[in-house]
Amino acid sequence: MLYKRADTPFELYEINVLDANDEDLVKISQELGLALNIEEMKKIKEHFASKGRNPYDIELQSIAQAWSEHCCYKSSKCYLKQLLFDVDAEYVISAIKEDAGVVEFDDEYAYVVAFESHNHPSAIEPYGGAATGIGGILRDILCMGAQPVALIDPLFFGRPDSEDIPKGTKHPLYLLSGVVSGIRDYGNRVGIPTVAGMLFFHDGYLTNCIVNVGCVGIARKDRIIRSKAGGAGDLFILAGGATGRDGIHGVTFASAELEEESEEKSRSAVQLGNPIIKEPLIHACLEVVEKGLLTGMKDLGGGGLSCVIGEMSLAAGCGAEVWLEKVPLKEEGMAPWEIWISESQERMMLTVKPKDVDEVLYIFQKWDVPAVVVGRVTDDRILRIYYHNYKIYEMDIDFVVSAVEYCRPYVIKHAEVVDAVSKPADIEKTLLEMLSHYNVASREWIIRQYDHEVRASTVVKPLQGRINREGHGDAAVIRPANSWKGIAVTADVNPWMTSMDPYWGTASAFDEMVRNLVAVNSVPHSFADCLNFGNPEKQERMGEFVESVKALGWMARGFGLPCVSGNVSFYNETPHMSVPPTPTLMGIGIVENVRDAITADFKRKGSGIVLVGETSKEFGGSLYCAVTGMKSTVVPETSPEKLSEYTKAMLEAFREFKVYSCHDVAEGGLAVAIAEMCVASGMGCSIDVEGEAYITLFSESNTRWIMEVREVEEVVRFFTKKGLKASHIGYTGGKSFDVEGVLSVAVEELDEAWRDGLTRFTGW
């Protein structure tokens, strides 16, 4: 008999792992939804054999949460530690080890950064999945004692014109609409602006969309809270929403491939968000932080109570005693293991000295937020759980939380070199098709749904330019504290490039992240990553991950930009396909004076236009190939040294010369970048290009910017003296985009193509 009902007045089972053979162990894992493999189950069996007893179901469920890919990074931390985590900077206060990165902003304040994925839940229930992603990322910032000030939402879906939809899969436009609505409703209701993000369509996301969410917060440096208990004798206070059956097995669900039946089988794993509770919860938590009443704080995310208490205790070198019957419940009849691992939303765990408990509880009562003492910190490293005076759990915290680690084998596949790119038959038509492509066209329908100005601190907005003509900017700029200093935020990756070459595609994403930060006149300061990949147990998928992390570490190390927070999301795969390698990057820059921030729209007639950077024939993963059908595997290359030299020169040029506008050269190359500057300003320009026109206009070589300047010849000389490439290519003015002897397109025609590119599929 594998399962034996315990002699208790509530549902509790002893699981007979000691007498179980390998087949039985696999059966136990499957039937209890543990998602543990046979080797992990054997490790559990050996542990309990050494204890001379069988585990209860709550103990097995707890181990499964802690050992899930989502919680313990068992397939990724080996390579992350080797390749990425050795990049540091003196201004980083805390990186990687906490729920969010903490970085010095000025003498008084620090900014806090977190970046997460909510992919599987959004594929099953797009509205709720995306909304709870926003709720979770806000808690990651809050648990460091920081006020959230900005949200970021990079989104990835199958092509909007997809027709052949596999069984168990929702149409990309349905998913897009639900995800955007979830982000909109949660962010707007809780009052945090969504200021940046990206939207990318690709065949590889058809059966598994990618929904990444990021957040930036601000905190006084002397009020930063750690995600650990203070020490023995502290009391655990659970604050926020009640605990229910929503979100059970959320982390194990996120640590396996999606199947046709996932929508029916795994819907209960999707949590239910409640922004109306979250808003006062934020206020109450920040008040107890401000009054210095906490010794530690952590949000209840993946794994629920199971992970939060274990992780806070282990980080303090302590143990814990929990009284599970004190946890407020949404519904009757929940088994202890369900209470323990539920991922119900809007919950925070605080540790408090006994003398401060009454004051903390009063503050939460004042904000009408439920809060209750549920346990205490002990001086051993054992976690004990009691339920109505029955001891139902006793485990070594080190065994549960330290988990397992794999350095999985991998293979690296290199694409055959192809460079079959030539001049298009109609260059004007090609430009218009590129502007109207769904990966370039206006995202205004999405951006306008988000309140990106709430809190009145968004200085440079996601839409920039003349009123009613706004176009996309390179980065948003917020003013988080009472000074003129600001924070720039951007999100970047090009899955066309990373699917073709994970190494150079990731290096290109890093390059674009830096370019976007520089374009608004900010100094690149730190970044976070959200690494979305397929099944790590498949060697090709693991190879994609390793190549991507190698490139990221190389670029970060050489450029001197620390990775302060992040997330790895594996198993973004179905029997039909795996997602493209998607190492989404969120970059943070410092703007010394927000009044000096620069936007992408042309400002004045007669200004000089300067192209900074070097252009080569690099079309691998390009928009040009996507539109023309031509083939190239030559993904643009870069180097941290080159990027650093140009970055320093660009920022110096902003100080030395009058620069009216700046835009980085990315998807679609020089032609699309200039067309976007024309569209956002309603102003045309005339340029002259060197070499073969289609290469200069459409190549997507890295480390390039377009500047609109007053002293054009002086600017060119400035870069040339530094041994860097800069060319005076034309002037602003007129009502069309003219390239001498190559093309002439009215700005209104550019505008129409760009604004209608996505709406022709969505109707929105």
State the catalytic residues: 70, 118
Amino acid identity of residue 143, one-letter, is C
| Separation between Cα atoms, residue 57 and residue 145, nearest integer Å | 35
Angle 669-681/427-435 helices, nearest 10 degrees? 60
Question: Residue 93: how many CA atoms within 13 Å on its side-chain side?
Answer: 24
Alpha helices in 560-639 (DSSP H): 623-628
Whole-number Å distance between alpha carbons of 368 and 416: 62
- Rounded to whole angstroms, the Cα distance separating 456 from 356 reads 35
Tell me how crowded residue 256 is: count the other CB atoms within 10 A of its CB.
20
What is the chain's length? Answer: 764
3-state helix, strand, coil in the chain (%, to 5): 40, 25, 40
- How far is residue 277's CA from residue 275's CA, in Å, rounded to a whole number? 5
Q: Would you give the end-to-end CA distance of the chain in angstroms?
A: 58
Rg (CA), the chain: 27
Backbone phi, psi, residue 677, to 5°: -70, -35
> Given the structure tokens 């023309």, which residue do they identify?
628
Q: Which residues contact 294 (CB under 8 A, 6 or more apart)?
A: 145, 225, 288, 350, 351, 352, 360
- Asked if residues 195 and 455 have their Cβ atoms less than 8 Å apart, the reply is no
What number of other Cβ atoms are within 10 A of residue 9's Cβ? 8
Are 18 and 48 contacting, i.e. CB atoms less than 8 angstroms apart? yes
Nearest to 160 by CA among 210, 201, 122: 201
- Determine the residue type at 647: T
β 659-664/705-709 pair status? antiparallel
The number of helices, as runs of H, and strands, as runs of E, in the chain is 27, 32
DSSP 313-365: HHHTT-EEEEEGGGS-BSSTT--HHHHHH---SSEEEEEE-GGGHHHHHHHHH
Return d(Cα 500, Cα 666) in angstroms, integer: 17
Q: Which amino acid is at 458?
A: T
In angstroms, the CA 623 to CA 601 distance is 22
Q: Are strands 319-323 and 371-378 parallel, antiparallel or unpaired?
A: antiparallel
Point out which residues pair with 728 in neighbouring strands: 610
Rounded to 10 deg, the angle between the 502-519 and 640-656 helix axes is 10
Non-local (6+) Cβ contacts of 505 within 8 A are 493, 494, 495, 496, 497, 498, 499, 548, 551, 581, 621, 635
* Residues ≥6 apart with Cβ < 8 Å to 758: 160, 438, 441, 442, 443, 445, 764
Please tell me whether residue 589 adopts helix, strand or coil conformation: strand
| CA–CA separation, 689 and 727 (whole Å) | 9
